[in-house]
A and B are shown apart, each in its own frame.
Chain A
Amino acid sequence: MTEIRTVATTGNLVVAEAMRQCRPDVVAAYPITPQTTIVEEFAKYVAQGRVHTEYVTVESEHSAMSACVGASAAGARVMTATASQGLALMWEELHIASGMRLPIVMANANRALSAPINIHCDHGDAMGARDTGWVMLFAETAQEAYDNTIIALKVAEDPEVLLPAMSCLDGFITTHSIDRIELLDDDTVTGFVGTYQPQNALLDIDNAVSHGCFAGLGGPYFEFKKAQRMAIDRSKAVVERVGNEFTKVSGRDFGLVETDMMDDADVAIVVIGSTAGNVRHVAKEMRAGGVKAGIVKVRCFRPFPHAELAAALKGCRAVAVLDRAESFGAEGGPLYLETRSALYDLESRIPVVNYIYGLGGSDVRLELIHRVYADLSDIASGSAAPSGLVYLGAR
């Protein structure tokens, strides 16, 4: 029987709790704001003897992911956490983790990238890693950060997938604010994720294998990449299935995209992460004022749910995409590019506007969201869409 314990605590602390409940064999991590309280909390579990985990307190994030790669190849269940500059320093290893098909799970406390240095939330760090071959889930709330971390592990270790997975939560907004969270009991989580069955483990001493071989000089590099593409494509169905299984044990919903008030929506905002809360609030106010406003939250960014997003937006007359990250020199932010691409196959062309917002923790005030819905209403009733992207609320 699932026992639910309701607590008031922060996103980081429940991510650490999820990690403990997943019983990782190895955690190799390095501190960085706003991820630090995850690794500190886990260090307490280690000191208290509550985990069997070997906790490798490496000297950098590059070594953190390098040690994770070694441990995962060895046949261990491996988890870690980072943010921002730490994720950037891991870049080389992110590709190696996915290329070697290692199901490492990492929480990322979304934070802006330098320069200028800034410790607050945006999605520039994770979006910079969007092509590294990781499954990527984004949380709106601390509850979702907890849920996503558990789901991510089961997806990553699925024999159909065998890819690393990232569980992203918004720096400070979600990592540090206290929220009401429902935790599952240890046995339920442990049973849900099951035991990891590694393939070709390095520590299967009697069956010696070589990992990380050279595949250049006309070797099968290209075919390995194709296999990786097929794996992340397959992972979509697995994310969905595991999400449904999770709903059964927790009673909480999980969707690749999650929609609200979309059945008859004329205007909609597509958003990732904690800002979905603000948008939902404003959408309700808009509805009260007679505007048929809706919201589409993307919870799974990799693999990207193009079909689901297009289906959700199909009947809209104007759509705004909020990007908390830049893709300098591109037509718009990463979510905008994906959304426009998803809508291409629809019969009718929906005007789509891109808003870059909240970089470096810049405040996402409700009036800014009101402005976006107001713009959309104007477009829906015939006004021209702004040409180019809008820096929402920038002075």
Chain B
Amino acid sequence: MATLKELTHREDRLAGGHRLCAGCGASIAMRQIMLGAGTDPLVVGCATGCLEVSTSIYPYTSWKTPFIHNAFENSAATVSGVEAAFKALQRDGKIAADKKVKFMAVGGDGGTYDIGLQSLSGAMERGHDMVYVCYDNGAYMNTGIQRSSATPKGAWATTSEVGKAQQGKPQKRKDLTSIIAAHGVAYAAQGSISHWKDLATKAEKAFAAEGPAFINVLATCPRGWRSAYNKSVEIAKLAVQTGYWPLFEVEAGEWKMSTASRALIKAGRKPVAEFLKPQGRFKHLFAPENAALLAEIQADVDEYWAYVMGRCGEE
């Protein structure tokens, strides 16, 4: 793993001056992952969403590396095509035989967990040499904070409203990382913008792996989470410390809890309420009449935590 000093000397492939909000976790995730990706040329494909619209406003671009946006649900299929083109052109001698190029497909949770799941599953199954990165901010932020299958239970969103008859999103989050791991990909991991070293190391492993790799990174959205723009990293850290977002990796089928999460087995997890409290989207959960719902959310977190521990062989 590259040291912090080495990382700071690498070129930043996402330029400043993009139009993402202050405190947006997506750009932090991109920077940490692309730094970890190493120094080989990198081609990026990005799904429609906040990251795409804010970094590629014609005639400007924030990408100092080849970049393609196609549509919302197909960043994995698009990069499949790019990677296939690379292989064919190299086979045909149009690209030097020793030339190394890395491929990264990116999508938000909407573009990944929901509308792009089929395209992602297909690309992972076919074994394209790419790293798919989902920046999970837990809703369709670009279109105005509508719920996705990554939105946490109880969260307010503009299509899972809070009122007399409903307290935010009724369903719990889909466990996408497990689903992709079940494809038998070369590498799958869950990371968070709050743990840069862990995330950059995971990126390094994902890009080093031959074949498809997947990273699901929790990326705070101050606008959608109704949180302070200068608290993004802190809140993401709470997601890890409460066990809401366990950090783990699956390398060649082998599940392993990452250090920061593993330490919690002994040290103990904070109550999930500490992650929910600084976010306005969960405000209603702290009303006395929602105590049972809050307890249910804690029970869900405990259950998922136990599941991940089990997969990782932890007791």
The A/B interface has a contact count, at CB < 8 Å, of 161
Which residues does chain A contribute within 8 Å of B57, judged by CB atoms? 213-214, 217, 219
B89 adjacent to chain A (CB < 8 Å): yes
* A 56-76 to B, binary, CB cutoff 8 A, 1 in contact else 0: 111110110011111111111
**By the criterion CB–CB under 8 Å, are A66 and B119 in contact?**
yes
Which residues does chain A contribute within 8 Å of B88, judged by CB atoms? 25-26, 52-54, 76
* Interchain CB contact (< 8 A) of B58 among A67, A92, A220: A220
Query: Which of A62, A67, A211, A217 is packed against the most chain B CB atoms within 10 Å?
Result: A67
Which residues does chain B contribute within 8 Å of A73, judged by CB atoms? 68, 81-82
A387 adjacent to chain B (CB < 8 Å): no
**By the criterion CB–CB under 8 Å, are B58 and A202 in contact?**
no
Which residues does chain A contribute within 8 Å of B73, judged by CB atoms? 62
B71 adjacent to chain A (CB < 8 Å): yes
**By the criterion CB–CB under 8 Å, are A62 and B119 in contact?**
yes
CB distance from A58 to the nearest CB of B (A): 6
Kindly report which residue of chain B lies nearest to residue A211, judged by CB atoms.
B68
Kindly report which residue of chain B lies nearest to residue A215, judged by CB atoms.
B58
Complex formed: what's the CA distance from A204 to B65 in Å?
10
B64 adjacent to chain A (CB < 8 Å): yes
A59-B118, A213-B61 known; A68+B89 contact, CB < 8 A: no
**By the criterion CB–CB under 8 Å, are A63 and B101 in contact?**
no
CB distance from A91 to the nearest CB of B (A): 11
User: What is the total number of residues of chain B having a CB less than 8 Å from a CB of chain A?
Assistant: 44
A63-B122, A70-B68 known; A26+B63 contact, CB < 8 A: no
* B 64-92 to A, binary, CB cutoff 8 A, 1 in contact else 0: 11111111011001111110111111011
Kindly report which residue of chain B lies nearest to residue A23, judged by CB atoms.
B92
A212 adjacent to chain B (CB < 8 Å): yes
Kindly report which residue of chain B lies nearest to residue A53, judged by CB atoms.
B88
Complex formed: what's the CA distance from A217 to B58 in Å?
10
* A 216-228 to B, binary, CB cutoff 8 A, 1 in contact else 0: 0101100000000
* Interchain CB contact (< 8 A) of A212 among B41, B43, B56, B118: B56
By a beta-carbon cutoff of 8 Å, the part of chain B in contact with chain A is 41, 43, 45, 52-53, 56-59, 61, 63-71, 73-74, 77-82, 84-89, 91-92, 95, 99, 101, 118-119, 121-122, 125-126
Q: List 26 A-B residue pairs with CB atoms under 8 Å apart, sorted by A's residue number.
A: A25-B85, A56-B80, A60-B118, A60-B122, A62-B74, A62-B77, A62-B119, A63-B74, A63-B122, A66-B71, A66-B80, A66-B119, A69-B70, A70-B68, A70-B79, A70-B84, A74-B86, A205-B101, A208-B65, A208-B67, A209-B66, A210-B61, A212-B56, A213-B58, A217-B57, A220-B58
Q: Which 8 A-B pairs have the closest CB atoms?
A: A70-B81, A59-B122, A67-B81, A212-B69, A76-B85, A74-B85, A71-B81, A63-B77
Add 14 more A-B contacts to A63-B118, A212-B70 (CB < 8 A).
A28-B80, A58-B80, A62-B77, A67-B81, A71-B81, A73-B68, A73-B81, A75-B85, A203-B85, A208-B63, A208-B65, A208-B67, A210-B63, A213-B61
